[in-house]
Amino acid sequence: MNKLIFEKHVPNSNAFSLPPGMIPEGDIQESIPEQFLRRAAAALPEISEVEAVRHFTELSTRAYGVDSGFYPLGSCTMKYNPKINEWAARIPGFAGLHPYQPEATVQGALQLYYEMQEMLAEITGMDAFSLQPAAGAHGEMAGVMIIKAYHMNRQDQPRTKMMVPDSAHGTNPATANVVGYDVIEVKSNERGLVDLDDLRAKMSDEIAGLMLTNPNTLGLFEEEIKEIAAIVHEGGGLLYYDGANLNGVIGVARPGDMGFDVIHVNLHKTFGTPHGGGGPGSGPVGVKARLQEFLPTPVAVKNGDSYGLDYNRPLSIGKLKNFYGNFGVIVKAYAYIKSLGADGLKEACEHAVLNANYLRHRLRESYNIPLDRICKHEFIANSRKQAEPNGISTLNIAKRLIDYGYHPPTIYFPLIVSEAIMIEPTETESKARLDDFVQVMKDIAREAVEAPELLLNAPQQTAIKRVDEVTAARKPVLKWGDH
Ligand X SMILES: *Cc1c(COP(=O)(O)O)cnc(C)c1O
List of residues contacting ligand X (CB under 6 A): 75-76, 135-137, 169, 171, 213, 217, 242, 244-245, 266, 281, 283
How far apart are alpha carbons 23 and 32 in whole angstroms?
Answer: 14
Backbone angles phi and psi of 28, in degrees to 5: -65, -45
Compare residues 266 and 426 and give the one whose CB is closer to ligand X. 266
C-alpha triplet 202, 205, 211: angle, nearest 5°: 55
How far apart are alpha carbons 199 and 188 in whole angstroms?
Answer: 10
How far apart are alpha carbons 171 and 160 in whole angstroms?
Answer: 18
Buried b (16+ CB within 10 A) or exposed e, 432-461: eebebbbebbeebbebbeeebebbbebbee
CB of 424 to ligand X, least distance (A): 9
Compare residues 164 and 441 and give the one whose CB is closer to ligand X. 164
Compare residues 75 and 355 and give the one whose CB is closer to ligand X. 75
CB of 263 to ligand X, least distance (A): 12
Compare residues 151 and 169 and give the one whose CB is closer to ligand X. 169
Compare residues 106 and 211 and give the one whose CB is closer to ligand X. 211
The burial of 333, by beta-carbon neighbours within 10 Å (0-12 exposed, 13-18 middle, 19 or more buried), is given as buried
Compare residues 425 and 459 and give the one whose CB is closer to ligand X. 425
Q: Which residue is nearest to ligand X (CB)?
A: 136
Compare residues 326 and 396 and give the one whose CB is closer to ligand X. 326
Cis bond upstream, residue 284 (ω within 30): no
CB of 408 to ligand X, least distance (A): 16
CB of 10 to ligand X, least distance (A): 41
Backbone angles phi and psi of 228, in degrees to 5: -60, -45
CB of 281 to ligand X, least distance (A): 5
| Residue 411, SS3 per DSSP | strand
Compare residues 81 and 217 and give the one whose CB is closer to ligand X. 217
Compare residues 109 and 421 and give the one whose CB is closer to ligand X. 421
How far apart are alpha carbons 184 and 154 in whole angstroms?
Answer: 23
CB of 190 to ligand X, least distance (A): 22
Helices assigned H by DSSP within 180-318? 196-202, 225-234, 255-258
Transcribe 343-399 into DSSP letters. HHHHHHHHHHHHHHHHHHHHHTTTSB-TT-S--SS-EEEESHHHHTTT---HHHHHH
Looking at this protein, which amino acid is placed at residue 290? R
CB of 215 to ligand X, least distance (A): 10
Yes or no: say if 105 and 111 are a contact pair by the CB < 8 Å rule: no
Compare residues 69 and 170 and give the one whose CB is closer to ligand X. 170
Cβ atoms within 10 Å, residue 49 = 11
Yes or no: say if 252 and 221 are a contact pair by the CB < 8 Å rule: no
CB of 197 to ligand X, least distance (A): 24
How far apart are alpha carbons 283 and 94 in whole angstroms?
Answer: 20
CB of 441 to ligand X, least distance (A): 22
CB of 74 to ligand X, least distance (A): 8
